[in-house]
Chain A
Amino acid sequence: MSAETLVEQLKGGLDAPICLTWELTYACNLECIHCLSSSGRRDPRELDTPQAKAVIDELRRLQVFYVNIGGGEPMVRRDFFEIVSHAVDNGVGVKFSTNGAFIDTDAARRLAAMDYLDIQISIDGADEPTNDAVRGAGSFATARRAMDNLAASGFGPFKISVVVTRHNVAQLDAFKALADSYGAQLRITRLRPAGRGADTWHQLHPTNVQQREIHRWLLAHGENVLTGDSFFHLNAFGESLPGLNMCGAGRVVCLIDPVGDVYACPFVIHSDFRAGNVLDAGGFTRVWRESDLFRELREPQGAGACASCGAWDACQGGCMAAKFFTGLPLDGPDPECVGGDGERALASVPVALAPRPWPDHSKPARTRIPVAGQ
């Protein structure tokens, strides 16, 4: 079977997702300015332990081989190890993303003793100033300590996960060197204007000159660097990057949020892309297979305003979430269209008209209290 036919079949949707993200909690010790899920405070409706285990049992029945666990900070949950153990003991592998704050020497030893477990430590700068400007004061040191602890525990090759921004493109080699120094694998992904990122995307997203740099860098290092296939819009530069060149939302990927809501992908936490809830009758399986939203996403999608562009086959119009949260039509160019069409389209969208990410679990803004004597 040719690659084209396979991709066509994947676009039509499968009986179960290939890759599923599950945000375990909206609670987080950090307040990253580009957080996709606007995390901070725990949602009181968060799935409890038995409900979380039931989700895993369903994923096992669907033969979902592994789940990407995130948050918020998933290790904040007191039942974190219980949920992860239940998954790996039932053949559902776990890859979880963490800021590392809770990976002390004991936790590292405990993690190292588990099978079918991958860990991604997030950093968004190869040095403290670059990272902490996005992820908060002290977060770089915290992440490095977690990496040190994992390395010392004999966990093996963990992953270092980086969201590429305007301020860290120049550090791609440094990230790679850091990963290599730990025997770790580097993962870089695209910045999306989702969650709190909707407010910061305009300042953080790479410039078009930098996008060309990212494309070149990935062509040179792509075999050893993971991307979650998130940079396929760069294929319009010419040479294609490795991976499936398609938007997987509702077709081969989806997101389960902490309260059990199912969204088309991790980057579209918004009521327009909510397909149902795992607690509904028929559970996750019914949402995945029968929701109107997912059925619609599996219909053939036209090129719309991009139809006359010669690069459409290469970039497929880019990322649905990036278009949605910047207020662009879904059947037009990606805001980071390498041909500049997105930028031109953006110029005509009043910022106020872009959809607001919702729900928002950000912590309330803190008021600085003056300290006597300062």
Chain B
Amino acid sequence: MTLTLDTACELDPRVSLRPEPFGALAYHYGNRRLVFLRHPDIVAVVRDLADHGSVRDALVARGVATERWPGFVSALESLRNSEIVRVR
């Protein structure tokens, strides 16, 4: 299943985020992967995902402009592939 604006997701509970000037470092204690989140906005959205019923709601709540949504969806899809984000 491809992640879309309607998907409900969350930060994987085995992941720890370390804030950095460029965004954050994400470390998955299960698969030991280290991933760079390359923008503070994507970090904020990732942290919020669990509080919203869909990716769209999380983007709206953070005030992310609609023209940036496709970029966020593909970033989240790639984070799901590294198991940083999971579908719930």
A-B contacts besides A6-B38, A18-B25, A93-B29, 19 pairs, CB < 8 Å: A1-B23, A1-B38, A1-B39, A5-B22, A6-B22, A6-B36, A9-B21, A14-B20, A15-B20, A16-B18, A18-B34, A65-B16, A65-B18, A65-B29, A66-B27, A66-B32, A115-B29, A116-B29, A118-B32
**Interface size for chain A: under 10, 10 to 19, 20 to 34, or 35 or more residues?**
10 to 19
Contact yes or no, B34 A65, CB < 8 A:
yes
Contact yes or no, B16 A63, CB < 8 A:
yes
Q: Please, how many angstroms separate the alpha-carbon atoms of A118 and B29 in the complex?
A: 11
Chain A: interface secondary structure? loop
Do A65 and B22 form a contact, CB below 8 Å, given A6-B36, A6-B38? Answer: no
Q: How many A-B residue pairs have CB under 8 A?
A: 36
Residue of A6, A15, A65 with most chain B CB atoms under a 10 A cut-off: A65
Cβ-defined partner of B22 (8 Å) among A9, A63, A93, A118: A9
Residues 1-45 of B, flagged 1 when their CB comes within 8 A of A and 0 if not, give 000000000000000101011110101010010101011000000
Q: Please, how many angstroms separate the alpha-carbon atoms of A115 and B18 in the complex?
A: 21
Do A93 and B20 form a contact, CB below 8 Å, given A6-B38, A18-B25? Answer: no
Residues of A near B22 (CB, < 8 A) are 1, 5-6, 9
Residues 62-76 of A, flagged 1 when their CB comes within 8 A of B and 0 if not, give 010110000000000
Q: Chain A residue with minimal CB distance to B20?
A: A14
Residues of A near B36 (CB, < 8 A) are 6
Residues of A near B32 (CB, < 8 A) are 66, 93, 95, 118
Which residues from chain B sit less than 8 Å from chain A, CB to CB? 16, 18, 20-23, 25, 27, 29, 32, 34, 36, 38-39
A141 CB → nearest B CB, Å: 29
Q: Please, how many angstroms separate the alpha-carbon atoms of A18 and B18 in the complex?
A: 10
Residues of B near A5 (CB, < 8 A) are 22
Interface residues of A in 1-60 (CB under 8 A from B): 1, 5-6, 9, 14-16, 18
Q: Please, how many angstroms separate the alpha-carbon atoms of A66 and B34 in the complex?
A: 10
A91 within 8 A of B: yes
Q: Please, how many angstroms separate the alpha-carbon atoms of A150 and B77 in the complex?
A: 35
Residue of B16, B27, B39 with most chain A CB atoms under a 10 A cut-off: B27
List 7 A–B pairs whose Cβ atoms lie within 8 Å, in order of A's numbering: A9-B21, A15-B20, A18-B25, A63-B16, A65-B34, A91-B29, A93-B29
Residues of A near B20 (CB, < 8 A) are 9, 14-15
Q: Chain A residue with minimal CB distance to B18?
A: A63
Residues of B near A116 (CB, < 8 A) are 29
The 5 A-B residue pairs with the shortest CB-CB distance, nearest first, are A65-B27, A1-B38, A63-B18, A9-B22, A1-B39
B22 CB → nearest A CB, Å: 5
Residues of B near A118 (CB, < 8 A) are 32
Residues of A near B27 (CB, < 8 A) are 65-66, 93
Residue of A1, A14, A116 with most chain B CB atoms under a 10 A cut-off: A1
B15 CB → nearest A CB, Å: 10
Q: Chain B residue with minimal CB distance to A115?
A: B29
Q: Please, how many angstroms separate the alpha-carbon atoms of A232 and B66 in the complex?
A: 39
Q: Please, how many angstroms separate the alpha-carbon atoms of A91 and B34 in the complex?
A: 14
Q: Please, how many angstroms separate the alpha-carbon atoms of A268 and B32 in the complex?
A: 27
Q: Chain B residue with minimal CB distance to A252?
A: B25
Q: Please, how many angstroms separate the alpha-carbon atoms of A95 and B36 in the complex?
A: 20
Q: Please, how many angstroms separate the alpha-carbon atoms of A9 and B24 in the complex?
A: 12
Q: Please, how many angstroms separate the alpha-carbon atoms of A73 and B5 in the complex?
A: 51
Residues of A near B34 (CB, < 8 A) are 18, 65
Residues of A near B38 (CB, < 8 A) are 1, 6
Residues of A near B39 (CB, < 8 A) are 1
Residues of A near B21 (CB, < 8 A) are 9, 14
